[in-house]
Structure 1
Amino acid sequence: MEPGTLVYDPHTRKVGEYQDRTGPYVMLRPVGGGREWQADPARIREATLDERLSAGVRALNDRSREGLSADPTRPPSPVPGCAGCEELALRRDRARAAFDASAVTDANVLLRQHQRDEHGGESAGRRIFRYVPYTIVQDASAQPEYEAYCVSGEEEDCGASSGPCQAPGEVEEWQRRHTQETRHLRYRRSFADYAVLERQG
């Protein structure tokens, strides 16, 4: 597969640009730029025309929302004088000091969401596709789900799962218990919610 080929990763449900192989994985880059992720080469496939178009529109929307010069890989900066921003930035600093990359990522996500909600960005859970007469809206009738999978193991992953949880704290508590019982330290965490499309106009 040639570098730059657009492929679909069913695990993340995202389209990415094929970069290269790294050990047993392939590296994919988000359309429009951003942080690369690992994918199983046996599961990815070339993206369909609709998937490529959708990914391109989404990348343009993201750039329009954040500014054409914005770097999506750069951590958000707190707004001076905002207590909410300062609290989340402090949480991120503590996670960095503890070398907890997952908690750093969580803090960045929460800080971006806070800034959208409180400092003039688009409302949380809502993304508008420009030039397309639909809006994707988070389904308020369904609760989001959090889940963790143990991926510790030398030859194969442990595979233990917390199962769907209603809050991040429940997942973290399961991780602590599982680590105490098994000494396993590496987990893959996921978040899922439900969305509906509303026609514009």
Structure 2
Amino acid sequence: MNQTLRSPHTFRSALALALLGLSLAGCALVTPPPSTGYLPANAFDGRVTGEDPAIAATNEARWAFSHPAAMQGRPAEMALAAASLDAMAGQFSTVGRWLGMNNLTKLQMLHARKVVRAELGIRPDTPSQTVIDALVTISLDLRHGDRKAALAAANGSEFTLPPRRTLAILAHFPATPVAERATAAASRDLYPGGSPPFFTR
């Protein structure tokens, strides 16, 4: 029986190609980091001065999702809370500052972001900054009494529902246990010794 003898060079080349293939396959399996965005400086409309923006956003989201009955009829506040949740869900999973945070909390926040986006009819693959900017604009417009501008802000391609429907959901946002648990867990990680301060409402 004839056998083809391979030179050491041929063998090394084949081995290198095999290792390269395994490496590329491994890269294909790596999940890309979650989309991450940040609240703009004017998101709180002057209500927060000198407070860490990440802490303020976490507090805002936690209060809103922990008190769904109190949020009824308050679409401006609800829009800000949803923006805050979207922002912190991404930041907790991608920013080095939060490397030591409980991984389960990070996953809960990302799951809560998906649920809240679905409730508002926001496309799940929308970049976080786009979602945040739209929701903060809606919040500020409503806070300043400009409903027409808020409707225009809710008319972007990231929204799948009619603008009036989006604002109606924000005004009567349903209880969302997933978001309540996630934001409570995040708050416990940030304030292991006790409860965080909340804004006067």
TM norm structure 1: 0.26
Return the structure number with greater helix share.
Answer: 2
Return the structure number with greater strand share.
Answer: 1
The structure whose RCO (Cα within 8 Å, separation 6+) is larger is 2
TM norm structure 2: 0.26
